[in-house]
Structure formats: structure tokens, C-alpha cells
Amino acid sequence: MQWETVIGLEVHVQLATKTKIFSGASTAFGAEPNTQACAIDLALPGTLPVANEQAFRYATMFGLAVNAEIGKRSVFERKNYFYPDLPKGYQTTQLAEPIVGPGFVDLELEGGRTKRVRIHHAHLEEDAGKSLHEDFAGMSGIDLNRAGTPLIEVVTEPDMRNAEEAVAFAKKLHSIVTSLEICDGEMSQGSMRFDVNISVRPKGQEKLGTRTETKNLNSFKFMEEAIALEVERQIDVLEDGGKIKQETRLYNGDTKKARSMRSKEDSNDYRYFPCPDLLPVIIDDEYIESVRKQMPELPEAKRARFVEQYGLSDYDAGQITMDKFAAAYFEAAATFFKNTASQTGETKLIANWIMADLGAYLNRTEQRIDQSPVTPELLSGLVVRIKDGTLSSKIAKQVFEAITNGEGNADTIIETKGLKQVSDTGALEKIIDDILAANTAQVEGYRAAAEDKRAKMLGFFVGQAMKASKGQANPQALNELLVKKLNG
């Protein structure tokens, strides 16, 4: 049987506010346990919540970015359940009246395919604390620093059909929230966490299969792996005549295994009701417009601008603007380039270097582009020397490596290593003359060959000449001179 996978996502996005959603305690990451948990976060008796304006501003930005209707009236409700990381015994969240209504995101997939994923809604809520299971003599330790950190939970429609689409959506969402600067995007710190709802059904069937929810995936890689694993498991179960049990599952990225969650299985009755300590939040068009004006450039707008302003191809612009740090890096490098090279356009080469050599280097060394030792200025300096013919692209790679080793900027390295490209006609002529003299048979063969065969034979002489120049010959000048001399 042919199976179709159906995927919906619930994404928890931690908002980059300075303080909690309902208290003035700091949200900074990495503090000592419980040093950022104030009386409100600890749910001490008699304490009361007051909502953070910035959380609403950020949620509104997000809504505008995903083409959604903004909830002009939003209401916090209490979701009741007991868990040690939930001090009040209820989570303050939104249910019936969320801040962000239905919207959508358009994805671009391999091969130029596009896909629209609908957003069901996104709501504001508070994060829980953390249970640490290290050995406290059979006890768990509870750290409530994270408790009360504002989240938006983005809930999609079940519009994705495979892991590629789900991951593309996740990456797009990451790119949107980081570009808006409403989330730091640090997945390893839990700033974005994905719950994946997965079901399979026979191809052509309309009714959805029973779904499972794999919770708390915090990397794109784990998400891809977890989806593949769960889809395979469900198909196996169904093909063996079994039934899928609706359950919550946990994926372990280290062991590459998933299991059913033991807790949270007692079909919780959350007893939602409007939180009487908080009043409805009312925002108006004026507020929404003021937020819109304040919004940083979104990836799609930036992409269009990069095509227009820097002459990048749409694809390259799309790649570069996917990551706001890469986009910023590119713009900085392009500015240096223009200032020093006093030429316009031709920044495509910078984009290429960012996507290829720099990207590979950062990947290999696990560094972030905004903290790259090869600064935009250094990369721009290198590209300037490629453009002005000082460096061949082959030698440029050598120079790049030297830059990554901290040996200075391109000019210094070219100087100290004597890597300057030979464009001087006299010097090149000397090299060519020597080669032609040493290879008379090949010269005659070339001259006897038909015009259309010659181009291929030219390669031999270019190779010899390059070797003789230790790679420093300017390929264009060399080519021209060679052809001239061979044609005699």
C-alpha cells in the first residue's frame, strides 16, 4: 500500500523580552538556579500577574509576518495541571481568544517547488521551569528561572506531507522570528522547540489517521530524524494490522530512538477558564500600525532588496537572507567592497564566497557567521584582490585559508607569501616561450588541428604554463597570450 504522511507542528518560540511575561524578573539565559524566579514566578500566595507589553508587541509582529489577523481582544486562561515545573498549578495561556489568528507561510522547496503552510493560530503563554534529574539522592531538583518566560506557541494546520516540508517550515519560522529579533533562535538553549504531530493514511484517503505527538525537538536534524522514525513505525504498525495509539512520544537524539512518554498520559482534563487575575488585552489598529512600522525587514523583503540593490540572483539572495546574520555579514562585506574597490555591482562573488568557502569553513569549525574570525572586511579585501586580477581563484583559496589562520588581511598575505598573480606580459611571454620551445611536437599538433579541436588542446599548454608560474599566472592574460603565440 502507498502511504501518505500528514504532519502538523506546534512550535514554542521563546520571546526575547528582558523580563517574564507576568513579572519583572529577568529572562537572561544561564543564571544560577532560581536566581531569576521572583515571588510571582514562584507562585507565592497573594502575588499577582501583570502582563508585559513587549510580549504583545512581539506576538503582534509575528502575526503580521505570517499574514495573520491580529486578535484585537485576547484573553488569558488558566490551564490546570500539576507538575513541579509549573508553580501555580496552572499555566497561563490563551485558548479561545489568542493574539494571533489564522495566517500562512509560503515555503520554497527543492526544485523550485513552493508550498503554503497554514497557521491555525498563535497564542501567548508562559514557559515552565526545568526539572533536573541529576542525582539528588532519588530526588529531582527544580529550577524555576525559566518559569514565566514568554512564549508564542505557533500551531499549524496539518499541511505538511513529509519531513522535508516540515523542516523547511521550521527553518522558515526560525528565519522569520530571528529576523524580527523577537527570538534569539538559540535552539540548543531551547529558544525554539518543536512538537510534531504525525499521522499516516493510505494515499487517496481523506480521513486523517490517528496521530502521535513527538514533543520537544530542539534541532532541525532531530526533527527530520524523529519524523522519519515515527512515520516508519506507524507504517510498520499499520501494515502488521495494528492500530496507532494516540500518545505523546519523546525522541532521543543521541540514541536515535523514541519512546512513549510515561507521564501526561492520564487523558488530562485541563479545566481551562479565563484567568480572573488578568483582564482582556485590547489592542487597536493604531497600535498594530505602530508595530508594523517598527518591524525589522523580513527575509522575503530583504531578498527582493538584495536582488535589486546588489544584483544577486533570486536564488542567491534567498540563500543569504535565510539567516539574518549571513544577510548582515553580506551587507557589511558588500559595503567594504564598494568603498575599497570603487566599483559598483559584482558583489555576487562575495555572496558566492559566503555560501561556499566561508560557509564550509564555519561549518567545519562550528562557528557562527556573526562571530567569524574572517570578518566582512577581511572577506571583502580578498574579493577585491580577485576582482582586480591580483589573485587567481585558486590562489584566493590559499589566501582565504591563511586569513582563517589569522595571518592578516589579503594584501599582507599576498605580500609576505609572494602570491601576486603574474599579469605582466613580459614575464608571461617568457614562460610561454619556454614551454612552446620545450614541447614542439604538441605545438605542431595544435597548429595542424582543426579550429574546433584547438580549444581542448589549449588546456595542455595552460596547465604547463600555470605549473611553471606556480599558479600565479593570470589565467585570462595567459590564455590570450598563448592563443596569440600558438596561432603564430
Partner 1 sequence: MHQLTIAELVKGLLNKDFSSVEVTQHYLDRIARLDKVYNSYITATPALALAQAAVADKRLAAGNAPALCGVPIAHKDIFCTIGVRTSCGSKMLDNFIAPYNATIVDNYLDSGVVMLGKTNMDEFAMGSSNETSYYGPVKNPWAIDCVPGGSSGGSAAAVAAHLAPAATASDTGGSIRQPAAHCGLTGIKPTYGRVSRWGMIAFASSLDQAGILSRTAEDAAILLNDMASYDTKDSTSVERDVPDYTTTLNDSLKGLRIGVPKEYFGEGLNPETAAHVEAAIKVYESLGATIHSISLPHTGLSVPAYYVIAPAECSANLSRMDGVRYGHRCENPKDLNDLYMRSRSEGFGDEVKRRILVGAYALSAGYYDAYYSKAQKVRRLIKQDFVDAFQNVDVIIGPTSPSPAFKFGAKSKDPVSMYLEDIYTIATNLAGLPGLSIPCGFVENKPVGLQLIGNFFAEARLLNAAHQFQQATNFHQQTAPGIE
Partner 2 sequence: MAVDRSDIAKLATLARIAISDDEADEVASRISTVLALVDQLQAVNTDGVLPMAHPLDAVQRLRADVVTEPNQRELFQSIAPAVQDGLYLVPQVIE
Distance CA 461, CA 458 (A): 5
Query: CB within 8 A of 251, min separation 6: which ones?
Result: 214, 217, 222, 225, 226, 229, 230, 257, 258
* 34 binds partner 2 per the rule CB under 8 A: yes
- Residues belonging to the chain: 488
Q: Which is nearer to partner 1, 263 or 440 (CB)?
A: 263
Distance CA 171, CA 175 (A): 6
Minimal distance in Å, beta carbon 51 to partner 1? 7
For partner 1, the binding residue among 10, 29, 42, 367 (CB under 8 A) is 42
Cα Rg, the chain, nearest whole Å: 30
Minimal distance in Å, beta carbon 92 to partner 2? 12
Selection from partner 2, partner 1, none that 282 binds (CB < 5 to 8 A by kind) is partner 2
Distance CA 353, CA 382 (A): 10
Cell of 46: 497573594
* 33 binds partner 2 per the rule CB under 8 A: yes
Q: Please say whether the beta carbons of 420 and 390 come within 8 A.
A: yes
Cell of 376: 566582512
For partner 1, the binding residue among 10, 26, 43, 225 (CB under 8 A) is 43
Q: How far is CA 193 from CA 56, 185, 424, in A?
A: 20, 10, 59
Closest CA to 360 of 307, 411, 404: 404
> Which span sits near partner 1 by CB under 8 A: 65-73, 85-93, 391-399, 453-461?
85-93
For partner 2, the binding residue among 95, 237, 278, 332 (CB under 8 A) is 278
C-beta atoms surrounding 476 within 10 Å: 12
For partner 1, the binding residue among 279, 301, 360, 438 (CB under 8 A) is 279
For partner 2, the binding residue among 3, 29, 43, 54 (CB under 8 A) is 54
Binders of partner 1 among residues 187 to 206 (CB under 8 A) are: none
Distance CA 311, CA 351 (A): 11
> Which span sits near partner 1 by CB under 8 A: 11-19, 41-49, 359-367, 433-441?
41-49
Alpha carbon 235 to its chain's center: 31
For the CA atoms of 152, 158, 161, 164, the dihedral, rounded to the nearest 10 degrees, stands at 0
* 131 binds partner 2 per the rule CB under 8 A: yes
Cell of 120: 491555525
Minimal distance in Å, beta carbon 199 to partner 2? 23
Minimal distance in Å, beta carbon 61 to partner 1? 23
> Which span sits near partner 1 by CB under 8 A: 43-51, 178-186, 193-201, 433-441?
43-51
Selection from partner 1, partner 2, none that 47 binds (CB < 5 to 8 A by kind) is partner 1
Q: Taking the chain, what is the end-to-end CA distance rounded to the nearest angstrom?
A: 70
* 96 binds partner 2 per the rule CB under 8 A: no
Q: Which is nearer to partner 1, 79 or 303 (CB)?
A: 79
Q: Which is nearer to partner 2, 23 or 214 (CB)?
A: 23
Cell of 291: 508595530
Distance CA 125, CA 278 (A): 13
> Which span sits near partner 1 by CB under 8 A: 5-13, 88-96, 286-294, 442-450?
88-96
Which spans of this chain sit near partner 1 (rule: CB under 8 A)?
39, 42-51, 78, 80, 82, 84, 87-90, 142, 269, 271-273, 276-279
Which spans of this chain sit near partner 2 (rule: CB under 8 A)?
17-19, 23-26, 32-40, 42, 44, 50-56, 80, 82-85, 131-133, 136, 138-144, 250, 261-263, 266, 269, 271, 274, 276, 278-282
